Amino acid sequence: MAVDLRISGGTVVTATDSFEADVAVDDGRIVAVGDAGSVPDAEETVDASGLLVMPGMIDPHVHIEDHFSVDTYETGTGAAALGGITTYIDFAWQAWVGELSQYEEEGTLLEGIEEKREKGERAVVDYSVHGAITREDPDVLEELADVVDAGVTSFKMFTAYEIGLGNGFMNRVLERIADLDAVGVFHTEDPSVCDELTDQFKREGKGDPEWYPQSRPDYAEAMAAEDAVRMAREAGAKYYGIHTSCRKSADVLESFREDGSKVRAETCTHYLALDDSIYGEVGNQAMIAPPIRKPDDNEAMFEHLRRGSLDVVSTDHCGYMLEGKQVDNWWESTFGANSLQVSLPVVHDEAVNKRGFSYPWLVRVMSTNVAQTFGLPGKGTLDPGTDADIVLFDPGETYTITAADNASAADFSIYEGREVTGRVKRTFVRGELVADDGDVVGEPGHGQFVERDLPDWEV
């Protein structure tokens, strides 16, 4: 009996190894990886000679179709497909009322999950959500077990903005998270330091975007990270530091990894590939929190990734329009930038091409570690029996990034004009071709909500 698909003649890359092999896919799953002679015949064969055959990338930090993104599930997941990202984790919001909110009334996490699942019916690639806790409402503590049962096993908390939680409440949530064996995901910036500096800059008329990074300094990120990770350790909860941007913050998190089991963290593509000179070049387009830092911080991110004290590279993709960036003062700008479509080529270029990181490392930090950290056992690997989420990548093709190619609704790219070597050629989600040589070919609705397990961080 012939299987559905065979990917032939490529170099398979896993989290630990790379080797020449064919990959056979049937009914949406990988069924064999091996020598051409050992892999079953297929109805369709894809020639992957000269290409890398990697597990689909998994991005655990994405904003699509909500308060922080103009992307719909169709445009956002199209960008993901073109970027070789086959699963991503978005946010289900506990509805809050405030300036940043589109909600008219408060709601629960379970309602937030339902809202995202309905929107996700047009998704091209697979997705999950983190539960985002936005209010100090003790009722949420009662809800967490049901949220875990609904396949959402991680909870995001912010220390800053109107949705920021105080240490006391975060501490209570962390105790509950520890009981449930779930994961606490933290955006850490000390709000009083950032707010005071922002107010000062406003009074002094320092509205030029080049002032922006100084309003949210690296030490403020490290301060809040230290508080949160310390509380997580006391509670015995798993801690995941989101968008680590600087040496000081990464050093703090590393210092709490002594027992090796309960602290993990990510950085984002832009903290690897861009430094604060970007604010002089593209102004508010690069308005992102935490800010893009100094060249030394770029290198610190690579040092921590090399040591394994940072585990993951994510995008923090937020689809915004130029219109929201074309304002007189940086504090009037929207915060966030799109990058799902270009993250893999940019990280490949910066890490593998320029700094000698390996391909298995690339697979680990952009796929396998994410699956393992967030409870996605059927993803992030090419092992037989797992989902046939596969990206075919040409490591030698050079091209220039331009927003003209954006599948995202966003009309700019902070990587505009950057030449990168390495390009996504084809992306498969559960055996279906969703991106083909720069075109989104997946059907909206092919993407599925993935119920996640409680992850085991001991392995």
* Residue 189 binds Zn ion (CB under 5 A): no
In whole angstroms, how close is the CB of 29 to Zn ion at the nearest point? Answer: 31
Could you tell me the smallest distance in angstroms from the CB atom of residue 79 to Zn ion?
16
Cβ proximity to Zn ion: between 311 and 316 the closer is 316
- Binding window for Zn ion (CB under 5 A); candidates: 139-147, 177-185, 296-304, 309-317: 309-317
Size of the site for Zn ion (CB under 5 A): 1
Residue 29 or residue 61: which is nearer to Zn ion going by CB?
61
Task: Identify whether the C-beta of residue 368 lies closer than 8 Å to the C-beta of residue 45.
Answer: no
Residues 6 or more apart in contact with residue 400 via CB below 8 angstroms:
417, 418, 419, 420
Phi, then psi, of 90 in degrees rounded to 5: -100, -160
* Region near Zn ion per CB under 5 A, out of 106-114, 273-281, 313-321, 410-418: 313-321
Interacting residues with Zn ion between 8 and 27 (CB under 5 A):
none
Taking CB under 5 A as the binding criterion, the range among 41-49, 175-183, 295-303, 310-318 that sits at the site for Zn ion is: 310-318
Contact predicate 162/191, CB 8 Å: no
Nearer to Zn ion, 156 or 364 (CB): 156
Judged by CB under 5 A, which of 26, 221, 316, 350 binds Zn ion? 316
| Contact by Cβ (8 Å): 42, 5 | yes
Task: Indicate the residue among 316 and 389 with the shorter CB distance to Zn ion.
Answer: 316
Tell which positions 384-443 bind Zn ion, by CB under 5 A: none
Q: State the minimum distance, in angstroms, from the CB of residue 177 to Zn ion.
A: 19
Closer to Zn ion by CB, 14 or 315: give it: 315
* Two tokens, residue 70: 């103009």
Q: How far is the CB of 318 from Zn ion (least distance, A)?
A: 7
**How far is Cα 242 from Cα 196, in angstroms, rounded to an integer?**
23
State the residue for tokens 């709490």.
256
73 or 393: CB nearest Zn ion: 73
CB of 305 to Zn ion, least distance (A): 19
Nearer to Zn ion, 301 or 434 (CB): 301
- Shortest gap between Cβ of 321 and Zn ion (angstroms)? 18
Strands 29-34 and 18-26: antiparallel
Residue closer to Zn ion (CB basis): 161 or 399: 161
CB of 316 to Zn ion, least distance (A): 4
Q: How far is the CB of 63 from Zn ion (least distance, A)?
A: 6
Cα separation, 451 vs 363, in Å, equals 22
- The residue with tokens 């387009």 is 285
List CB contacts of 245: < 8 A, sequence separation 6 or more.
218, 221, 267, 268, 271, 290, 291, 292, 293, 297, 301
Question: By the 8 A CB rule, do 415 and 43 touch?
Answer: no
DSSP 41: P
Containing 79, the helix (H) or strand (E) segment is helix 73-82
Q: How many CB atoms lie within 10 A of CB 52?
A: 21
User: Could you tell me which stretch among 193-201, 282-290, 301-309, 311-319 binds Zn ion (CB under 5 A)?
Assistant: 311-319
Helix (H) or strand (E) holding 265: strand 263-268
Rounded distance between C-alpha atoms, residue 141 and residue 135, angstroms: 11
**Which residue of the chain is nearest Zn ion when measured via CB?**
316
Residue number, 316 or 394, with CB nearest to Zn ion: 316
Q: Which stretch binds Zn ion (CB under 5 A): 101-109, 165-173, 272-280, 314-322?
A: 314-322
Main-chain dihedrals φ then ψ at residue 168, nearest 5 degrees = -60, -45
Q: Which residues are at the interface with Zn ion (CB under 5 A)?
A: 316
